[in-house]
């Protein structure tokens, strides 16, 4: 279960709209408490995929991940998940998304159709101990 504020949801939607027609991507920071995750901040990442592929793929480099991990350590936070957008596609994980995901993390996908954020889903790989597929993860939206 991912607890997240309306403000962070809006920030992801705005990032998806800004990046359109390319995929945006970023890291979600917060705190882990058993099975629950509490999102507290976001850090957009530059989509490092080559220009011609950014409309349907995203990549966060090892250097970007190291920066995110150092930031989390400095701020006393955990990396609780990642987000990215699907331009002109549903907020459903692709096979590429699944094959590049890791268990435990929350994966938020924002569907952005014609430049407007329309839908958002959250998935977790191996939530039901099947590490070959995503399962929908509940989002609880907290105040600002």
114-136 pLDDT tens trace: 999 999 999 999 876 777 889 99
- CATH C-level class of 2-142: alpha beta
pTM for the structure as a whole = 0.94
76-85 pLDDT tens trace: 999 999 999 9
CB neighbour burial string for 82-121, b if at least 16 within 10 angstroms, e if fewer:
bbbbbbeeebebeeebeebbeebbbbbbbbbeeeebeebb
Evaluate the omega torsion of the peptide bond into residue 100 and state whether it is cis, within 30 degrees of 0: no
Is the four-CA dihedral 108, 28, 15, 68 of positive or negative sign? negative
- Domain boundaries of the chain, sorted by first residue: 2-142
């Amino acid at each position: 279960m991912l607890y997240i504020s309306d403000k962070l949801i809006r920030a992801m939607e705005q990032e998806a709209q800004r990046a359109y027609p390319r995929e945006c991507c970023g890291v979600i920071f917060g705190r882990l408490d058993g099975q629950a995750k509490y999102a507290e901040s976001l850090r957009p990442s530059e989509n490092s995929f080559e220009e011609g592929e950014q409309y349907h793929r995203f990549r966060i480099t090892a250097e970007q991940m190291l920066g995110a991990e150092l930031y989390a350590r400095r701020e006393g936070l955990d990396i609780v998940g990642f987000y990215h957008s699907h331009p002109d596609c549903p907020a459903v994980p692709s096979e590429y998304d699944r094959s590049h995901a890791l268990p435990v993390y929350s994966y938020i996908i924002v569907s952005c159709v014609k430049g407007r954020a329309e839908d958002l889903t959250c998935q977790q790989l191996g939530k039901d101990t099947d590490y070959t597929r995503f399962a929908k993860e509940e989002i609880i939206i907290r105040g600002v």
